[in-house]
Amino acid sequence: MSKPFVDIRHAAKKFGELEVLHDISMQIGKGEIVAIIGPSGSGKSTLLRAINDLDPLSSGEVWLEDMQVNKALPPRQYEKHINQVRQDIGMVFQHFNLFPHLTVRGNITLAPKMLKGISDAEANALAEEQLKRVGLLERIDYYPSQLSGGQKQRVAIARALAMKPKVMLFDEATSALDPELVEEVNQVMKQLAEEHMTMIIVTHEMGFAESVCDRVVFMDGGYVVEEGPPEVLFRNPSHERTRNFLRKHLQGQS
């Protein structure tokens, strides 16, 4: 692999006495799409949230291109630094976290207007462009409460994309959705994959991971147990724990 785009070096995380991540290192190339799978409590979300410092690491480093995300700075400077870096890291949550007091347009334009100093007209054009991308332009003046779960998540993706991030993080973006709404969100993510967006996707949808991702990382108990291309990891895993997990999981699904 060429120079890593996202570089996680010796990441460790403790919540009090509980060690949730043990010395995890992971490199993700530009345009690469990585799935993180693993049982509940294995530390997938914690790792993902360490990338934009939402859950700061106890030790270790996270780099995005040539910038250390979690670099040591005095608090005030760190605030400035991290707010800048986060503009480059889009994040999509399981429960969408749309702003309920704002319309779809307001949700998408709030941060760009506030942080990028663009005009209302530019912000509107931006919102329209991103909504077209997720196929929801006609919902621009709706409130989140007037949308289905799938539509909410697509708006959340559009909101993240409007910041023109360099990488997108997805934390179980479809787990809270009714089964029939999952596909429309997966479609949007597939489209982003085709546009070569760098993506790190925590998911429990093995089929989706297999069809979209370049690489799958299996985590258990705060360790990366095994990683590899989906066809290898899913068809021919080398670790017993991976096999166990996949067996249970595939049974659960069918």
Partner 1 sequence: MDFDLILRVYPFFLEAAWVTIQLSVYSIALGLACGALGAAARLSRSKPARAAGAVYVSVIRGTPALIQLFILYFGGPQIGIQLDAFEAGVIGLGVNIGAYMTETMRGAIIAVDKGQGEAARTLGMSRAQAMRKVILPQAARLMIRPLGVNINAQIKGTALVAAISVVELTYTAQRYIGSTYKPFEMFFLAGVIYLVIIYATGLGISYLDRKAALR
Ligand X SMILES: Nc1ncnc2c1ncn2[C@@H]1O[C@H](COP(=O)(O)OP(=O)(O)OP(=O)(O)O)[C@@H](O)[C@H]1O
Q: Footprint of ligand X on this chain (CB under 6 A)?
A: 15, 18, 20, 38, 40-46
Q: What whole-number distance in Å separates Cα of residue 103 and Cα of residue 110?
A: 10
Burial class of 217 by CB neighbour count within 10 A (0 to 12, 13 to 18, 19+): buried
Cβ-count burial 162-196 (b if 16+ within 10 Å, e if not): bbebbbbbbbbbbeebeeebbebbbebbeebbeee
User: Token pair of 242, please?
Assistant: 């991976």
Q: Does 45 bind Mg ion (CB under 5 A)?
A: yes
Which of the ranges 9-17, 57-65, 95-103, 217-225 carries the binding residues for partner 1, by CB under 8 A? Answer: 95-103
In the complex, minimum distance from the CB of residue 193 to Mg ion, in angstroms, rounded to a whole number: 21
Tell me the β-bridge partners of 220. 223
Q: Does 176 bind partner 1 (CB under 8 A)?
A: no
Tell me the β-bridge partners of 127. none
In the complex, minimum distance from the CB of residue 96 to partner 1, in angstroms, rounded to a whole number: 8
Q: How many residues bind Mg ion (CB under 5 A)?
A: 1
Nearer to partner 1, 48 or 206 (CB): 48
Q: Does 114 bind partner 1 (CB under 8 A)?
A: yes
Q: Which residues bind partner 1 (CB under 8 A)?
A: 52, 54, 79, 83-84, 86-87, 89-91, 93, 95, 97-101, 110-111, 114-115, 143, 145, 156, 159-160, 163
